[in-house]
Chains A and B, each alone.
Chain A
């Protein structure tokens, strides 16, 4: 990097040509020294996006895909690529049905209501330009999530390579048939009548019927009218009520509760992890509610490389393949896909600048934080500094992450029987006999642990209240019900990384209720299972350990 930049500019620049076409004037340097001209750069960028999608044949034609948009450059670029990819009129155009979700995290970052309203207005402008059906959710809605969000739901088997090709062929055939697609527009295109967070709670007046909203929402592109979904699952109409529940602005109570939750977390590292977890759950809920089977996130190569190193530092080494791979099937029915993982942040920034991709900058929870304030910041500074001197750092880490393989547990290919972490939903590797690992040591310690102090947050409900078919006389026995301590109940259902994060949360009370409810449910189920274990007819596949 020639940062001294002699004046007049050194002759080298005059003679440098695009490495690809050898005639254009280069505008950007990619990787270690390849200079690309504007047009070749655009072709290169777009090609990479299509190639990543095409290589991993996961997105079937007509499938509903939710694009997770943060307003930032990578996700904005991703949306732009999808927009351009859908509008091409050739056999090569993208074929899925997109929707956009934006999560308003202002409350967690301490933003004022006016700032949040201003940001939302800017976001909506862009969303209207893009024209996909959009969903704006405030992070406060985590307080209304159902516990089912934390469960692994089985996916319809998507089949083999043959199934993909067959799906594409049948889709192309259907395209030639006259499109009955017009009525398609009216259902997944749920233009949610969102009121900005600042408006008073006369939200009912905002809840326009979805059809009225349609006329302004959808510029009916040719691609969308022809988006005939081949599977039956796609044709279910979206219940209008689901769209309207998102129209409510967050109540002040929820905003307050969210601020309290994030204020109670002691370190920035844990805050970032908690924010990420809640955001994931919320997006998953939106996807499940509206019938999206895939979620695309805009994680770039640089971000994923940083995430890989950060995850290692946080004790999530076992789940690297899911955290940084192209596809993440930990939720079962909704698969998270990362199409931008081949693009470095530099490429994204240049593309956005050169080709006017709109994006909105919103301060996040770690904006202007000093370098040593969290593990994420530290790792980011480390990687970027290394990258400045050794330009192949990020791509090397990325290539390493590509090689990570998702090992099936005990020969089960992704089946649900194994226990999963309550928060991150990765398969727990519980082997109580293996106390050599830190995780094993913790697990065995917890199962013998007495609650250290009489819990200040004494459970106001009797431990068997949720009544999961539990016999009434369960606590008649003299031995104390070991599940009295809610904190231990939650902690023992977490993976190592999530447990480490929970250490920075002194009390679990401010957590959204769905987490505590699900934890309670699972532990009750586990203890019931343990009680009746001896009566169960043991077949080989059903041998389960007592812990959840």
Chain B
């Protein structure tokens, strides 16, 4: 059982257009059964933050090719 998690999500480089032009979002992820991971986070973002054109942001399970993801200013490919 994961406790609620407070995360800052920031969009840039044009991605913010899909989120009403808002670049920084301070969000609190609700507590849930399984621990939070990036895949769940993306699903949550799609459901709660994304305002339009989901196909331009998410593709399947992951982000659309070309979109870079940084976690604490480090490449997510390092994980």
Chain A residues close to B by CB (< 8 Å): 1-7, 9-10, 13, 16, 26-29, 35, 73, 345-346, 349-350, 353-354, 361, 363, 367-368, 380-381, 384-385, 387-388
Contacts and interface: CB of A to CB of B under 8 A. Distances in A.
B36 A7 contact: yes
A5 B39 contact: yes
A385 B65 contact: yes
Contacts, number: 73
B37 A7 contact: yes
B44 to A, nearest CB: 14
B62 interface: yes
Contacts of A9: 79
Given A6-B37, A353-B73, A363-B17, A13 B78 contact: yes
Contact of B56 (A6, A349, A354, A368): A368
Given A3-B61, A346-B68, A354 B73 contact: yes
Interface string B49-66: 000010010000110011
5 contacts: A9-B79, A13-B78, A27-B73, A29-B75, A346-B68
A368 B79 CA distance: 30
B17 A367 contact: yes
Interface residues of B, number: 25
B74 A27 contact: yes
A3 B78 contact: no
B9 interface: no
B37 A4 contact: yes
B68 A2 contact: no
B70 A3 contact: no
B75 A27 contact: yes
Contacts of A16: 78
A35 B79 CA distance: 11
Nearest to A302: B66
B79 A353 contact: no
Contact of A29 (B39, B61, B78): B78
A528 B78 CA distance: 68
B17 A368 contact: yes
Given A3-B39, A4-B37, A361-B13, 20 more contacts: A2-B79, A3-B38, A3-B61, A4-B39, A5-B37, A5-B39, A7-B35, A7-B37, A10-B79, A26-B75, A29-B77, A35-B78, A345-B66, A361-B14, A361-B16, A368-B17, A368-B56, A384-B65, A385-B65, A387-B65
Nearest to B56: A368
Contacts of A384: 65-66
A27 B73 CA distance: 7
B74 to A, nearest CB: 5
Nearest to B39: A4
A384 B65 CA distance: 6
Contacts of B70: 350, 353
A32 to B, nearest CB: 11
Given A73-B13, A367-B17, A384-B66, A2 B39 contact: no
A367 B77 contact: no
A349 B10 CA distance: 14
B14 to A, nearest CB: 5
A1 B76 contact: yes
Nearest to B10: A353
Contacts of B17: 363, 367-368
A354 B68 CA distance: 13
Contact of B76 (A5, A6, A353, A388): A5
Contact of A388 (B35, B39, B65, B75): B65
Nearest to B14: A361
A5 B79 contact: yes
A350 B68 contact: yes
Nearest to A371: B55
Contacts of B78: 13, 16, 26-29, 35
A381 B68 CA distance: 14
Given A3-B61, A367-B14, A28 B76 contact: no
Contacts of A3: 38-39, 61-62, 76
Give the 8 A-B residue pairs with the shortest CB-CB distance, closest first. A384-B66, A388-B65, A384-B65, A5-B38, A29-B77, A7-B35, A27-B74, A385-B65
A269 B66 CA distance: 21
A169 B36 CA distance: 62
Contacts of B12: 353, 361
A345 B13 CA distance: 11
Nearest to A1: B77
A126 to B, nearest CB: 15
A349 B68 contact: yes
Nearest to A5: B38
A349 B13 contact: yes
A26 B76 CA distance: 11
A35 B77 CA distance: 9
A271 B17 CA distance: 22
A345 to B, nearest CB: 8
Interface in B18-47: 35-39
Nearest to A387: B65
A26 B36 CA distance: 24
